[in-house]
Structure 1
Amino acid sequence: MDTAVPNPNTQITFMPEDNSSEQQYSYHPSLLASLNQQLRTSLKTPAKISAGEWPERITNVFSESVCQVINDSPALPVFQQCFQELTGFYCSLDIPAPLRQRQFINKNGLVMSPDYAIRTVLDSQRVGAFWQALSNILPQYAERECHLVYPACGPFAPLLLPVLHFLREQQQLPEKLEVTLIDIHPAAAQSLQALVEVTQLDSVVQVLCQDACDYRAEHGSVDILLVEAMQHGLSREGHLNICQHFAPLLAEDALLLPEKVSVRAVLTQAEDEFPTEPRAEGEKNTRRIDIGPVLELSRDTLRQLDLLRLDDGSELIRCLQVKIPEDLDTSVEHILLLTTEIQVHQDLSLPEYASGITHPLPDLSVCIGFEPRNPQPGDLLIKPGDSILFYYRKQGLPGFLPVYVEPV
């Protein structure tokens, strides 16, 4: 197979920005401390590899990794090898470190730095589930046109690009497939374009550098929407906002991947959920108290979301209401957890704790049956028998906002 070396003069499509866009993309200094700590860990400089070697190295690791995922149940080393090769290629592009490490908040949520986003490849169950799904889905479009859009895809588009290369090698890549990759971060877009070229997928794939929620296309023109832009508890990033934006662009029979994101509220005690000694594999916390669903996000529910616009211009989505059990034992302190399960496609799913994005998210602002020892602004004091209505905050750092419901 012929190989291609990335062209350093390649033009990436940048969309025009108005004044508000320029302000919206400015660096935000007050990001979460945990994320900052991750970003302080600089990437190790890989061994020197010539530009001409990268096409074979990347295509080989794509082929081997996807093949193992489809045919076996691969261990983490498969993804570690993929991560190492992609990281070496990424570092070879000489993208300035301040740009690679830049992170900010725009109107739709947190935009992570590419230096952080590249770690997605190591989330083996998440990546593997999408590879399995897409390797089954895409060959079904052999006889028809298909426009796949992957917004907020990061510097590697890790859920898709390896599968595209693998299917092409297997001569199963649909002839009429068009792929649009979108990322707002210039460093991510530069990495994407180089990766698309080194795998010779540039005849199929277009790279756009813009906010995914500014993407414009004809209604009904998107056949597959692949979007995974969230952290645990459907928080911080713009996943829901992106899905909402693309809803009218989806064709009548379009696929949304993942197919369903389900968030529920449970009560538990911290020592039960997060024991000092790790649980055995598959062992669950049996002392949880499930208090009900909060939100289900799917193709069917997208257009039924109850949007509330406030006077200050911010937007909330009204979600579901839950009730605290009246007989809750208040002699111990319970915490509220938001749990997430993700149905990627059909029977391919990510249950709790299977991936970083399905770890439960505690909301420590909700104090149920006790007063906090160190009160904070925004604390919500709740008694047994009270009801909580959840709203989803769309601006800033998206996430769920629990609100006390006055009894009728």
Structure 2
Amino acid sequence: MERLENTNTKPFSDYTDPNIDSLLKHSIRTQLESLLQSKVSVGQRLELLQKSFVEAISLILSDTKVTHQQLVSAFENMYDQAVQSMALAELSQEVLTRQYISDTGLIMSPYNCKHTIKDVYRIKGYARGIDKAIQSKLKHKSKINILYPACGPFAPLLLPLLSYYKDTQKYSAQQLQVILVDVQPGAVMTLHQLVKDLQLEDYVSLIQEADATQFEPDVDIDLLVLEAMQHGFTKEGQLSIAKHLVKFLNIDGWLIPQSVSIRGMMVVGETEFNQQWKEVDYSHSTNMTKDAKEDRVELGEILSINKSSLLNMPILELEDGVNVVPANKVTLPDGVEDMSERFLAIYAHIDTFAEESVGQYDSGITHPKPEMSVYIDSRPREIEHTHFVANSGDTVQFYYQLSGLPGFVPVKV
């Protein structure tokens, strides 16, 4: 296995032709500043910002039925208001768009990360779970410390919740203290501005620019809130960050999400990714069709991640310092007539806390990812070193690559 070069100091433009990247065709800073042209006073802007955060969380915490469109509208409004704080943070275009590959995964630019705050069902699954976890912790403690690493410029899993707590007086800053960590200078600059604009300084004890895989908190952590994932559990460093920081949890501390289950399946692409979505307005686990689910060939769990598994998870170091984690073995089923026409897809199910979750298709991070380099009962015309070829009945050992761009590596037993 070839070790990926550490490109920590190189801008993403080294890897992408700016001429074909629409993000770099225009001045992003100019676009953001244009959002500030509306004729509102500073006080009015802050009121609109704070109100948008509270309203979005009020909807997802509500036990009454809320429509998809109501949620989308509220989250779009929250995003529009948050972007104004990003503009006021005065990020240069270079800082705003800087994206690179570190030793443990893709470091997304603040510009790309800002869209997370619009991911309705990702935030709903996390925020409802975090709210329940906080409630449970405060039954037994007068104050808890929450660590949120790789939080991005808007810290969307916590700042809206804190705004709601402050507005409703549900929990005070004497009960909750939050540490926000991100390696991107632009994210940290935006966080300072946004926390100030939301008037949440009392709740946020520290905003730290640091690599989350190296950061060491100076207080015991009661809740570790982490979401640094992409679909198929690839590219970003969720596992490396969790593995490093889980040891700073109190003995009775909780990781949010409490568990992530990554599973594999053999699917017909047309059925899974096209036909089942033709009659619905949006993709979501509740809108999956019975026919599509029955057409799948489930392979089972490839990797399970929770507090216990992280603390006991061995890391194998290969040549050139490449690190991998042994995952599960899967035996490919016999007797599937059209196996050669199917391809492997990997998806995640996330249990945040209690009964709250983010299911497949609820968010980009749980959307099944096709693995087009894997061939079962078929062979590519020209086999390359990236291809994996196996047959029905074979047993496959999966490993998870931590170094460079994370992802699964299948090996025939």
Q: What TM-score, normalized by structure 2, do the two folds share?
A: 0.86
Corresponding residue for 1:26? 10
Give the letter aligned to residue 253 of structure 1: D
Is contact 1:104-1:111 (8 Å) kept? yes
Q: After TM superposition, give the deviation of residue 331 of structure 1 in Å.
A: 7.1
Corresponding residue for 1:115? 111
| Counterpart Cα distance in 1 of 2:49 and 2:341 | 51
Corresponding residue for 1:203? 202
| Counterpart Cα distance in 1 of 2:217 and 2:210 | 14
The SS at the match of 2:236 is coil
Is contact 2:7-2:100 (8 Å) kept? no
Give the unaligned 5+ runs of structure 1.
1-21
Is 1:60 the equivalent of 2:68? no
| Counterpart Cα distance in 2 of 1:331 and 1:64 | 48
Is 1:127 the equivalent of 2:123? yes
Give the unaligned 5+ runs of structure 2.
1-5, 280-286
Q: After TM superposition, give the deviation of residue 255 of structure 1 in Å.
A: 1.3
Corresponding residue for 1:325? 333
Corresponding residue for 1:290? 298
Q: After TM superposition, give the deviation of residue 203 of structure 1 in Å.
A: 2.2
Give the letter aligned to residue 116 of structure 1: N
Are residues 331 and 207 of structure 1, via their aligned partners in 2, closer, same or farther at CA, if it must alter by over 3 Å? closer
Q: Deviations for 1:139-175, whole angstroms, at most 9, x for unmatched residues? A: 4427423110000000000110011111122222241
Q: After TM superposition, give the deviation of residue 269 of structure 1 in Å.
A: 1.7
Is contact 1:330-1:369 (8 Å) kept? no
Are residues 339 and 257 of structure 1, via their aligned partners in 2, closer, same or farther at CA, if it must alter by over 3 Å? same
Q: After TM superposition, give the deviation of residue 236 of structure 1 in Å.
A: 0.6
Are residues 40 and 274 of structure 1, via their aligned partners in 2, closer, same or farther at CA, if it must alter by over 3 Å? farther
| Counterpart Cα distance in 2 of 1:90 and 1:361 | 31
Corresponding residue for 2:320? 312
| Counterpart Cα distance in 2 of 1:75 and 1:199 | 21
| Counterpart Cα distance in 2 of 1:31 and 1:132 | 38
Give the letter aligned to residue 270 of structure 2: E
| Counterpart Cα distance in 2 of 1:170 and 1:56 | 15
The SS at the match of 2:227 is coil
- The more displaced of 394-403 and 300-309 is 300-309
Are residues 393 and 32 of structure 1, via their aligned partners in 2, closer, same or farther at CA, if it must alter by over 3 Å? farther
Give the letter aligned to residue 288 of structure 2: G
- The more displaced of 86-95 and 249-258 is 86-95
- The more displaced of 53-62 and 260-269 is 53-62
Corresponding residue for 1:193? 192
| Counterpart Cα distance in 2 of 1:25 and 1:226 | 27
Q: After TM superposition, give the deviation of residue 238 of structure 1 in Å.
A: 0.7
Q: After TM superposition, give the deviation of residue 328 of structure 1 in Å.
A: 3.0
Q: After TM superposition, give the deviation of residue 31 of structure 1 in Å.
A: 5.3
| Counterpart Cα distance in 1 of 2:21 and 2:224 | 32
Corresponding residue for 1:269? 268
Are residues 225 and 288 of structure 1, via their aligned partners in 2, closer, same or farther at CA, if it must alter by over 3 Å? same
Corresponding residue for 2:228? 229
Is 1:160 the equivalent of 2:158? yes
Q: Percent identity?
A: 29
- The more displaced of 181-190 and 134-143 is 134-143
Higher helix share: 2
Is contact 1:324-1:384 (8 Å) kept? yes
Is 1:216 the equivalent of 2:216? yes
| Counterpart Cα distance in 2 of 1:67 and 1:274 | 33
Is contact 2:130-2:352 (8 Å) kept? no
Is contact 2:349-2:359 (8 Å) kept? yes
Q: After TM superposition, give the deviation of residue 54 of structure 1 in Å.
A: 3.2
Are residues 342 and 207 of structure 1, via their aligned partners in 2, closer, same or farther at CA, if it must alter by over 3 Å? same
Corresponding residue for 2:71? 75
Is contact 2:59-2:71 (8 Å) kept? no
Is contact 1:307-1:318 (8 Å) kept? yes
Q: After TM superposition, give the deviation of residue 136 of structure 1 in Å.
A: 3.1
The SS at the match of 2:231 is coil
Corresponding residue for 2:395? 387
Is 1:48 the equivalent of 2:44? no
Are residues 277 and 240 of structure 1, via their aligned partners in 2, closer, same or farther at CA, if it must alter by over 3 Å? closer
Runs (4+) of structure 1 exceeding 6 A deviation are none
Is contact 1:38-1:116 (8 Å) kept? no
Is contact 2:126-2:357 (8 Å) kept? no
The SS at the match of 2:264 is strand
| Counterpart Cα distance in 2 of 1:349 and 1:279 | 25
Corresponding residue for 1:14? none
